[in-house]
Structure 1
C-alpha cells in the first residue's frame, strides 16, 4: 500500500506542472517592434496588435522608431534595442542595405529577429511576416488595366529603395508588361512626405496630349488622401486614383468616388503574429539563429507568413469602414 506521503506528492504533481507552465512568461521578457513613420495610423494599428499579443502572453512590448521616414534613425533605434538584449525584435525594414548589418549583428548577439511589412531577405532574420507585395501590386495593376481600358499614362508615388514598395511596383510592372499601351511616366520619390505627392499631382494634372496622366498610383498609405485632394481641387474626376491601405480618409474618398480603390493589408495581424512567433522562438530556441532555415526542408520555421491582402472599392468599402470603426472603439 503506498504511503500517504507518496499519495500527496502524486496528487500535487499536476498542480505543480500547471503552475510551472503558467510561469513561462514574465514581464522581464521584452520584445521590440522597430519601424519608421510611427506617426502614421498604419503603424499605430500594427503597434496595437503587437501590444495586444504582449498582454495575452504577459510579456513586455517596447516600440522604437522615428515618427517620420528616416532609415538612419531606425538603424540607431535598432542598435539601441540590440544593446538592451531583448527576447526578440520585430522590424520593418526601410532600407535593406542600411539595416542589414544591424539585423545580422542582432542575430550574432543571440537576439531572434523577424521582419514584418518590409523584408530584408538577404539578412539573417529568421523569416518575414506581411503582405505578398508583388501579388498585391499585380492585384492593383489589374484594376488599373480595367479602368484605363489597357491604354494611358500612369504616375507612381513611392519611396524607392524600401523593399516592400519596390516589390509592389514590380507587381504593377508585371501586369503592365502585357499591356504595352500603358506607360509609366514617373515614379515620384515622396521622401516620406505626402505633400510631395500633392505637389507632383498638381503638376501632372496640367499636362495634356501625349503627356496626359490617366492614373495616379500610391504605393504607400500616406499619399492617397493628398493625391485625391489635388484631383478634387482641379476637378479632374476623369483620372483614376489607386491608394494603399485602409486609412479612414482613404475609405471616405472611395465612398466619395475620388479614389477608385485601395489595397488593404493587415498591420494589426503582422504585429500580433510577430510577437507571438518571437515568443515561441524565445522559449524554444533553435540550435542556431544564424542558420539559413529557408534551405532546410525540415525547418520548423516558414520562409514567409502571408497575412493577406484585398482590393477595396465601392462594392466592399462599407465592410472595411465598419471594421475600422469597431477597432477604434
Structure 2
C-alpha cells in the first residue's frame, strides 16, 4: 500500500472522483450456495467441519469461515475419521467422494450445479464414444475435477488458439468440446472458432458452459470501461473469473488492477483518474466493495453510480438434509 494513504485529508480541498460500479458483480448463486453449505454444516454438526480446498477463491470468505469453525485442507488424507467434510464449489474428481465413502466419512458436495452439469455432459460424451477437447486453464481445480469424471485418455486440455491449431487427434471425426465455466467469453470464442475451422463436425454442448455469472460480470465491465480512466477488480489472484475481469477491462483499452481488499489499494494508481470503475469477482462479497468505496471517500469527494446491465435472480437448492438446518 502507498504511504500516501496516511496523508492528512484536511490538507486541502479533496479532489473529485466519480465511481462507476458495475452490476452484476460479486457473489453468484453457486458461491452463495457453497458458503451456505459450510455455514449450515457447522450449525448442524458443530465445529470443526473440514473443507477440502478453499470453498471458493476468496481469502476473506475463507478466513471468515475458518473463524466459524471450518478447517481447510488440501487432501482427504488430512481429514480425521468421524467428522464431516465439504467439497469445494469447483468440483472434485470422482475418486474423492469414492474415497470418502470408503472411509465412512460423511460428506457434503458444494460443487456448483453449473460445474456438475459439465461433469454429467463429460460422462455422456465419453459413453457415446466421443473424445472431449476441454477448454480451460491447466491446474485450475475445476479442470482437475472435470478430468476426474472420465477415464484417462478420453479428454484433452486446450488452453489457447495455438493448442487448437496444433492438435492432432486420433479420430478427428469423433470430437466434442466442453469448457471451464469461468473463462473469458472472447478468448473462448477465438479458441472455438479455431477448433470448428479444423473440425467442422465437433459436437458442442447443449448450452454454453461458461456460466451466466461469468458472462454477466464481463458484460458489465465492458459497459463501464469506455467511461472510466481505470477499473479496479476486487478478487483473489487465484480466482479465474476475477482475473478475466481485469483482462476484459484491459482489452477495452483501460488500465485495470486486481485488489483483494481495500488495503491493497495504492493511491498512486489513481493519479490522473477522474472516473474509476469498480467491480468484484463472483467469489468476492459486497462487503469488500463497500470497504473500498469507504476508503476512497476518506481521500476524495466521491460520487457513486451503479451501471446495471442485467438483473440476476438465479438461486440453487441446498443439498438434501441441509435445507431444514
TM-score interval for Structure 1 and Structure 2 normalised by the shorter chain: 0.3 to 0.5
Structure with max Cα Rg: 1
Q: Give the TM-score, by structure 1 length.
A: 0.40
Structure whose residues are more often helix by fraction:
1
Which structure has more RCO (C-alpha within 8 Å, separation ≥ 6)?
2
